[in-house]
Amino acid sequence: MIDIRLVRDDIDAVKAALGRRGVDPADIDRLAELDRSSRHAVGARDEVRATVKTLSKQVGDARKAGDTGRAEQVADESRAAGDEERRLNTVAEAAQEEVRQALLYLPNLPAPDAPDGMGEDDNVVVRAWPDAAPTYTEAQRVPHWEIGAELGLLDMERGAKLSGSMFPLYRGFGARLLRALSSYALDSHSDEFEEVRPPTLVLTGTMVSTGHLPKFEEEAYHLERDDLWAIPTAEVPLTSMWRGDVLDEVDLPLKLTAGTACFRREAGAAGRDTRGLLRVHEFDKVELFAYSTPDQAPALLESMVARAEALLRQLGLQYRVLDLCAGDIGNSAARTFDLEVYSPGVDMWLEVSSVSWCTDYQARRANIRYRLDGGGTPQFVHTLNGSALAWARIWAALVETGRQSDGSVVLPDVLAPYLRGETVIPAAG
């Protein structure tokens, strides 16, 4: 969540910043009014609380002096004041919760250098690889779901039989390829990032910390009996590993990576192309995550984008990098770069990575701070996250890009160590 002091100190600046994201200025005015009411309620409670303390001291003084009558009179006043304090405390806590809820729904302030715009058409392509777009053969223009069915790699029908539509089932070499991709990426990041295997089901507070709740509840899978949520990304548990803790500046940046299954309802997918692996409810992904100081964050953002790009180049996939406009970045992010691969069989650019700098937005929700080396009040950390990479669409792009005229599929040599040396999926016999 954003710092409420920003609203108090310069509400017009907050309105201007969030206006770039399409937030109604009236929502900021409402937040400011809730904050004023909350501070008034807290002040009124604290005044009565001070009175109670004063009266309690007077009761003690009167009893020490042997003035029983005075002690009883003041004790009655103290009890009445105590009742009023409890009433005002209920009012104050309710007012503070209103402010907190308003902040939980409000998005992060976009970075000043994020491009202007309100949707995906306003995103800026900052670079592409390779410099000259490849020429694709007719064999590569076959969609991955047809290739997967022909070679026994992907069985969407049986996946739907087990779990419903948009739950893929990989078979044989297709399943091995998926597993190889995660192992390849985790090994690639092991030079700087500590590997973690977090739980796949998390508490409500864990989802709130990243900003996935309460605003995006409809996108998540909820196990109501146990009040647990299936993670939409490993960013969720990684963000909360140090929830409520104070780190030391010397330990920052703290870099983590995790390979997990991810679950998303894709509630907004109606009317969009959901064939094959283009849009699924469950997919595997390797995530990069970091806690940092504000000064460390820009370089980290750049390096995390570079890592995702390096994997795509090693996999031989055509890709482009988009600088997302203020109106298209995720709720928790201040700056985001998306990486999209070109998938020739479906003739589409597919998002396979989103790398974001969330400033202190998530850290405020999770109450994660760090002690400055020079002393002073602990400060909130900055958080960064990025996919490196999400595999369903990478899988699709690989089998389409690698398809040969005889129907076989040639995979990148970089995956050979994770595929027992086999990089060719034979054509159907």
pLDDT tens column, 19-53: 999 999 999 999 999 999 999 999 999 999 999 99
- Residue range 119-124: average pLDDT? 97
271, pLDDT greater than 70:
no
Tell me the residue ranges of DSSP E strands in 344-422. Answer: 348-357, 369-371, 379-380, 382-390, 409-410
How many whole angstroms separate alpha carbon 45 and alpha carbon 124? 51
54, pLDDT greater than 90:
yes
User: How high is the pLDDT of residue 267?
Assistant: 74
pLDDT tens column, 182-197: 999 999 999 999 999 9
pLDDT tens column, 345-382: 999 999 999 999 999 999 999 999 999 999 999 999 99
Model-level pTM? Answer: 0.95
User: How high is the pLDDT of residue 274?
Assistant: 85
User: How high is the pLDDT of residue 280?
Assistant: 97
User: How high is the pLDDT of residue 429?
Assistant: 82
Query: CATH classification of 4-105, choosing from 1.10.287.110, 3.40.190.10, 1.10.8.60, 1.10.287.40?
Result: 1.10.287.40
How many whole angstroms separate alpha carbon 393 and alpha carbon 317? 11
* C-alpha separations of 24 from 16, 98, 369 in Å: 10, 18, 31
Strand order in the sheet with 228-230: 201-203, 228-230, 221-223
CATH number of 120-425: 3.30.930.10
Confirm if 379 and 370 have CB atoms less than 8 A apart: yes
- Residue range 253-273: average pLDDT? 87
Task: Choose among 305, 337, 317: nearest CA to 393.
Answer: 317
Angle, helices 173-189 vs 391-401, to 10°: value is 120
Tokens matching residue 84: 């009023």
- Average model confidence (pLDDT) across the chain: 97
User: How high is the pLDDT of residue 268?
Assistant: 65
* C-alpha separations of 327 from 19, 118, 285, 330, 357 in Å: 9, 4, 25, 9, 15
SS3 240: coil
- Residue range 150-168: average pLDDT? 98
Ranges of each domain in the chain: 4-105, 120-425
Higher local confidence (pLDDT), 424 or 267: 424
User: How high is the pLDDT of residue 164?
Assistant: 97
